[in-house]
Chain A
């Protein structure tokens, strides 16, 4: 016998329907306004291809850097007890909630030509982040890395640490344990975290334009190109937006259930 449930209140259903419309209709607008006929030529214009190429390169670099720098930190936060751990955790998550423009200003003050880190870096090594592709990578990493840290830390905390102990009794040193037991056991969260990080880096706008500027072929990533194209060349802006939307849908479908499960604390 099927379970009989109380029907939800009409008001709630009505509000929920409005909400779905509010979230979905803008995307419908994007699809109906899409210049389907000229889509290919719009996407293959120099501005578009430069932005696409740059966005791919920078977002992948940012994801790679986040893995290299974020994984050890996630491990320390999950496994090492030290005074001020909660403070450090809050600090690493801060860029997630910080307005990206503020992040860009902060990066500028630290790594800009006159920044307290940027000046010695430029004077001694000739490294300059502002108006350079390296600056884009830096800005994207700053904003996106917390997604990796928070996802991996949660996975490390929830995994059964006894597997690592079992591995050590089987003669495996720390590095072998990490490589052959810990990493495989958190692999799904690691992939989810990396995908989230990549998607966030790909969409980065505020910190990038504030810190690295907007130079075609060097710092002008897809979101920046979309914003600029909107001023004079709307079809290109819509075409590039569609490309970003497609990427988001692919990431969403690929992660499905893992998405929320992995980032929940």
Chain B
């Protein structure tokens, strides 16, 4: 393990406690809603936010340990940071931006300029080397920012929302390219994002934080299969239900009862994929054992699919084709019957653990 961090920060009314281990050559994405503490975590790792408690160790060297009175300032940490909006110095050319760090570390002017140009070449933005940041496109600025961070030869690379400043058109190709550069980088990498797609495409492993604590951690597949909070379920596009199981009967927290195919006992979580919820105008007859009357709360169109949010007793989203939507005549407030097969409800114990980090 290259980065071993136990980050505790108390800032005004907000307190955060997140443990994070990242191996050499590993890319870990920290995912969370706004205000969850993602950026604070990154600032603590970079040395811009001193810890209140805990410890940060990189390659065996202690960078921050309030109990031992150790705090290495940002300029002496082997960390490279790619900031949100990149923060390229507006008064310097792209090449001078990349050379900045090398100059700070004592390289001569010509040596720094030479190495900066080599990095720009590697990132494919050498022709823009003499431009000021204001004239660079979003994608070019992102590459210059990455070159500036990597030119320092860091052991830990920190990226704060590296793709959020880009427009949709550039995003796909830059994401792909970023993944390629991060795979070539031998150190540890922490990527902060609120976009699940970015995280899934770039990172080897995910840590999801909410309210300053780890909500869930693991690979994308494992998190997707068994979400533990409604935020994670939302990222995975699944309905998450909480309740108590006794045998194959599931008593939901809202009071409704569902029949499941896997007998269990105690506090459980259950996920249902929106496409597995069927909608009918009349009480369904036949195979599904779970059917309940409800009302349409909202309708969202997604191409040829429609996402229908259902109200009490079970708040969930159903996904149907736009053809069915038209046939059923569903709009806000319309009464409707929902049904789901017992075999399509995935039930697992709610043991409160967030999985391995």
The answer to whether B255 has its CB under 8 Å from any CB of chain A is no
CB distance from A190 to the nearest CB of B (A): 13
Residues of A within 8 A of B152 (CB): 170-171
- The answer for the CA separation of A79 and B105 in the assembled complex, in Å, is 26
- The answer for the CA separation of A160 and B81 in the assembled complex, in Å, is 17
A163 touches B87 (CB 8 A): yes
The interface stretch among B71-79, B167-175, B202-210 is B71-79
B74 touches A165 (CB 8 A): yes
B104 touches A169 (CB 8 A): no
The answer to whether A260 has its CB under 8 Å from any CB of chain B is no
A171 touches B104 (CB 8 A): yes
CB distance from A175 to the nearest CB of B (A): 11
Residues of A within 8 A of B89 (CB): 163, 166-167, 181, 184-185
The answer to whether B101 has its CB under 8 Å from any CB of chain A is yes
A176-B104, A180-B100 known; A169-B81 Cβ under 8 A: yes
Q: Which of B49-74 contact A (CB under 8 A)?
A: 73-74
B90 touches A172 (CB 8 A): no
A168 touches B87 (CB 8 A): no
A-side interface residues, number (CB < 8 Å): 18
The answer to whether B46 has its CB under 8 Å from any CB of chain A is yes
A166 touches B87 (CB 8 A): yes
Residues of A within 8 A of B76 (CB): 171
B-side interface residues, number (CB < 8 Å): 22
* Residue of A166, A167, A168, A185 ringed by the most chain B CB atoms within 10 A: A166
- The answer for the CA separation of A184 and B152 in the assembled complex, in Å, is 23
The answer to whether B91 has its CB under 8 Å from any CB of chain A is yes
B83 touches A168 (CB 8 A): no
Residues of B within 8 A of A181 (CB): 89
The answer to whether A173 has its CB under 8 Å from any CB of chain B is yes
Residues of B within 8 A of A163 (CB): 87, 89
**Chain A 152-178, CB within 8 Å of chain B: the 1/0 string?**
000000001011011111111100100
A162 touches B83 (CB 8 A): yes
Residues of A within 8 A of B200 (CB): none
Q: Which residue of B lies closest to A173 (CB)?
A: B75
The answer to whether B148 has its CB under 8 Å from any CB of chain A is yes
B79 touches A172 (CB 8 A): no
Q: Which residue of A lies closest to B83 (CB)?
A: A166
The answer to whether B80 has its CB under 8 Å from any CB of chain A is yes
The answer to whether B48 has its CB under 8 Å from any CB of chain A is yes
A168 touches B91 (CB 8 A): no
Instruction: Choose one: A160, A168, A170, A171; the contact of B48 (CB below 8 Å).
Output: A168
- The answer for the CA separation of A90 and B220 in the assembled complex, in Å, is 57
A184 touches B91 (CB 8 A): yes
CB distance from B49 to the nearest CB of A (A): 10
B73 touches A168 (CB 8 A): yes
* Residue of B73, B83, B87, B148 ringed by the most chain A CB atoms within 10 A: B87
B105 touches A169 (CB 8 A): no
- The answer for the CA separation of A171 and B48 in the assembled complex, in Å, is 13
Q: Which residue of A lies closest to B158 (CB)?
A: A169
Q: Which residue of B lies closest to A177 (CB)?
A: B75
A171 touches B75 (CB 8 A): yes
Residues of B within 8 A of A184 (CB): 89, 91
**Chain B 91-112, CB within 8 Å of chain A: the 1/0 string?**
1000000001100110000000
B90 touches A168 (CB 8 A): no
CB distance from B162 to the nearest CB of A (A): 14
Residues of B within 8 A of A169 (CB): 46-48, 74-75, 77, 79-81
Residues of B within 8 A of A172 (CB): 75, 100-101, 104
- The answer for the CA separation of A242 and B48 in the assembled complex, in Å, is 54
- The answer for the CA separation of A222 and B83 in the assembled complex, in Å, is 53
- The answer for the CA separation of A180 and B76 in the assembled complex, in Å, is 18
Q: Which of B31-59 contact A (CB under 8 A)?
A: 46-48
A168 touches B100 (CB 8 A): no
Residues of A within 8 A of B83 (CB): 162, 166
Q: Which residue of A lies closest to B98 (CB)?
A: A170
- The answer for the CA separation of A173 and B74 in the assembled complex, in Å, is 9
Residues of B within 8 A of A168 (CB): 47-48, 73-75
A163-B87, A184-B91 known; A171-B46 Cβ under 8 A: no
B100 touches A170 (CB 8 A): yes
Q: Which of B141-165 contact A (CB under 8 A)?
A: 148, 152
CB distance from B96 to the nearest CB of A (A): 10
* Residue of A166, A170, A171, A173 ringed by the most chain B CB atoms within 10 A: A170
B75 touches A185 (CB 8 A): no
Residues of A within 8 A of B74 (CB): 165, 168-169
Subset of 8 A-B contacts with CB under 8 Å? A160-B87, A163-B89, A168-B75, A171-B104, A172-B75, A172-B101, A176-B104, A184-B89
B residues engaging A (CB < 8 A)?
46-48, 73-77, 79-81, 83, 87, 89-91, 100-101, 104-105, 148, 152
Apart from the given pairs A163-B89, A169-B48, 11 other A-B contacts in the complex at a CB distance below 8 Å: A163-B87, A165-B87, A168-B74, A168-B75, A169-B47, A169-B74, A171-B104, A171-B105, A172-B75, A173-B75, A185-B89
The 4 closest A-B pairs by CB, nearest first: A170-B101, A171-B104, A172-B104, A166-B87
